[in-house]
Structure 1
Amino acid sequence: MAVVLTTSRAFPDCEQAQKILTDAGHELKMVTPQKPLKSSELVPMVKGIGAMLAGLDEINADVIQAAAPTLKIIARNGVGYDKVDLKMAREKNIRVTITPGANSLSVCELAFSFITGLSRRIHLMDKSVREKSWQRVSGIELHGKTIGILGTGAIGRHLAVRCRSFGMRVIAYDLHPSQELIEDHGVKYISNLDEIYRQADFISLHLPANPDTWHMINRDTIAKMKPGAFIINTARGELIDDDALYEALNNHYLGGAGLDAFASEPFLDERFFELDNVIMTPHTGAFTKEAADKTLIIAAEEIVRALSGEDNLYQIN
């Protein structure tokens, strides 16, 4: 038997994931924070645990060192792992797993809702009705517009299909183009990001955060975009230079932005709170009942495999 620490807010509501772990004989230590835990908060929690089912918590070297004598696996209930110190986990022989594809539909649907919401300025008209001012705001049709999708993994692929169904032209960037998108959905891959910036009416980010993508949306790249273009980010906040984005939104060079991911969370940059051309959500792309259940079940199954000495299906280190 091992102690399994869970820090996902959704875990207490997923009876199936709980049953998978308890049926295997493991003890649950459930923590339900309102926001991802900092390393200083995690260190006292991880001593003596055998596994961790983690959200977007800061699992750095200090956390891993504190847990290392007993910890066998860190199972992320999602696909991002930039908050986990993979090098230290590898040194301590701790497995790190993810749940690929489990929440891709939910994140895709949020990205698409940003596109439709921004194009029709729904947030502004909702406000006008509530304030009894009854102000109609002119929007744009999506049909015939071009969207540049940067990253066509599971989320980007789903988004491309939905955008095509709305009559949008889809151009994309990915180191590994999808032949299915090319052949079945008419997606055109472009290897030059500058060309995508120049052509796209909407740009949707679906790339990991790493040294190559850090602040890829900056003053220089924004200057290459169409006046009035929209930026959608449901991936990682580190992809965008906040100062550059604020300037382009504030002077209305960009038409708007839909943001679900921020470099620092909770997001406290009050400059953005005054803008009427940005919609922001609290990193909630994967926060649907269906996605939460799928990711938690997969993560629980990966924990059982690791603690039983079996190979994991989605180990990344």
Structure 2
Amino acid sequence: MTDKPLISKAARLSVAPMMDWTDRHCRYLHRLLSRETLLYTEMVTAPALVRGGAVHLLDFNTEEHPVALQLGGSDPQELAEATRIGAAHGYDEINLNVGCPSDRVQSGTFGAVLMKTPDLVAECLSAMRAASPVEVTVKCRIGVDDQDPHEVLPAFLDRVAATGVRRITIHARKAWLQGLSPKENREIPPLDYPLVHEMKAAFPHLHISVNGGISSLDQAKAFLDAGLDGVMIGRAAYHNPADILLGADTQIFGAGHMTTAEQAVLDMLPYIDRHLANGGKVHQITRHMLGLFTGRPGARMWRRVLSEGASRPGAGTRLVLDALAHVSDIAA
């Protein structure tokens, strides 16, 4: 596990938890690109762990540290048990999802709908903190539906802070729980970055990260320079990981690590071989690698070779090298 000061430092830049995207294979790739950035799992529901026994969802590689587990749920006792399980698996942080707007999440009475019940959120967080040897954090929205974020968000943060939680990531959009799809909820409600800055001024003792619509390291650095403690990037880090992560260690963390997208591909080959030897399929990994060369000559052929070949019988690392030959002479 990573100790608390180091995990807080890592949170200067993080890759958002994204369902169906930030699985262990994706995180392994991202860690090759950046040693410092904090990585998050996909959301795992507390009922799946506690009632369903789905502990396989917690599998990760030790190379992924620092890595955080995001939990979804609304039952304090169940979340406490899920937190215990997650911490025992070696995660560096346990995060409570108070931001996901999907219908499936709402039906479980967790995610963004919890913005309406801050007392329940506080009860959940208190139970999680009591059960956890590692830091417990929150990811939330600025509000939901007809709530006034300027009233709701300060009250929410005040309630959260009273539990002892010190690190909060704020997606700077409202969530509309009826009438908008999860995709639309990431794009249509307007971003309110100034409100997030106001919350940092109002709660200077909290570590506050901003999330939503951030698509470059320059933009991330501007938020940090303006006084925020951290920046969380989602889709841009997934679709164009080289642009976001390759420069992160030097630009955001002042560290000396630097690699290339080509080297990351070569470093993935032993990992792919191990996955195949354990009965896995190559497409389970290569689907996360498609955006590695976005904007570079040969990127289209890289994607095409991987996309068309990964589902063929016997596909393996040779396919990846064949694809790499279209963007680099390393594989030649």
**TM-score (norm. length: structure 2):** 0.31
**TM-score (norm. length: structure 1):** 0.33
Larger helix percent: 2
